[in-house]
Amino acid sequence: MTFIEHSELILNSDGSVYHLHLKPTEIAKNIILVGDPGRVSMVSAFFDRIEVKRQNREMITHTGYYKNMHVSVLSTGMGTDNIDIVMNELDALVNIDLDKREEKGTHSTLNIIRIGTSGALQPGIAPNATVVSTHGVGLDGMLYFYRDLDRVMNHGMTDAFISQLSWPANLPRPYIVEGSAPLLKLLGNDFIKGITATAPGFYGSQGRRLRLDVSMPELNEALASYQYGNLKITNFEMETSALYGLGMMLGHNTLTLTNIVANRVDKTFSTDYQIFMKVLIEKVLHSMTFLK
């Protein structure tokens, strides 16, 4: 076993991992990720009991039980950079012996489901509808810092994306990774299925213009035009591609479900999406009780 240096895996004085402030006994095998720290209590309000509460910066964790299922809900904040932190530290909690600083001999798999919000890129997808992401298109470039990306990315879909959109060479090279087939089968039947584009920001990289011009003014139209077989890009958000890529590299099951807050094509917007978010949370929790 290779010793992991203190500078590579940073632990707090109480033995918890650096950013999440969690110990291995404080997370469940089944985990819900939310971006908004305020949404953690919205999820844990459905728990029968809460045993652990931890907070560091925007990362809040509640672990407890829902209908006899051990489950954690954790806020990541926004962006693929935060997903990089959360996924690596969650994996470290279950697959690294923190005392010996060595990888464990037996791998443990987590079920990690992201519940969030997104904007629709196809006409007719109404605000408050739910999209389940079959794949994530990473426009951020972050996963190219990992050698294993070449192993997990869908090269055919990625090459087709770059070709169909005439992707500019001065922007990060995109990558496409699929979500977990077992989780999609369990959770995806009642929702719209599609590819989710993951942007490294909220404004320019999602085609929004306030006081600054954007380098790809037709970005949203180009994304909406992409097609691979019967799959199209349905929505835009900021986390899924990194979640799917890191999940597959590390050996965890991942899936994203997002409620549509706005349709960027139809110019429609939800004013009451929190109501529908609670409905989605309860549906996901119920479905998770059937996980093996």
Q: What is the pLDDT of residues 106-155, one digit of tens each?
A: 999 999 999 999 999 999 999 999 999 999 999 999 999 999 999 999 99
Instruction: List pLDDT tens digits, range 210-219.
Output: 999 999 999 9
Residue 28 lies in a domain: yes
pLDDT at 292: 73
The two tokens of residue 86 are: 């959360």
CATH code (residue 108): 3.40.50.1580
Instruction: List pLDDT tens digits, range 101-113.
Output: 999 999 999 999 9
Contact between 27 and 90 under an 8 Å Cβ cutoff? The reply is yes
Strands 96-97, 102-103: pairing is antiparallel
97 bridge partner residues? 102
pLDDT at 205 over 80: yes
The fraction of the chain above a pLDDT of 90, given in percent, is 97
Residue 7 lies in a domain: no
Domain that holds residue 91: 24-288
Backbone angles phi, psi at 243, to 5 degrees: -60, -45
Residue 10 lies in a domain: no
Residue 13 lies in a domain: no
How far apart, in Å, are the Cα atoms of 215 and each of 119, 159, 163? 20, 21, 18
pLDDT at 191 over 80: yes
Residue 75 lies in a domain: yes
The total number of structural domains that make up the chain: 1
Q: Which residues contact 42 (CB under 8 A, 6 or more apart)?
A: 34, 277, 278, 281
Residue 8 to residue 280: CA distance in whole angstroms:
37
Structure confidence at residue 27 as a pLDDT band (50, 70, 90): very high
Residue 261 lies in a domain: yes
Residue listed under structure tokens 């798999």 = 109
pLDDT at 273 over 90: no
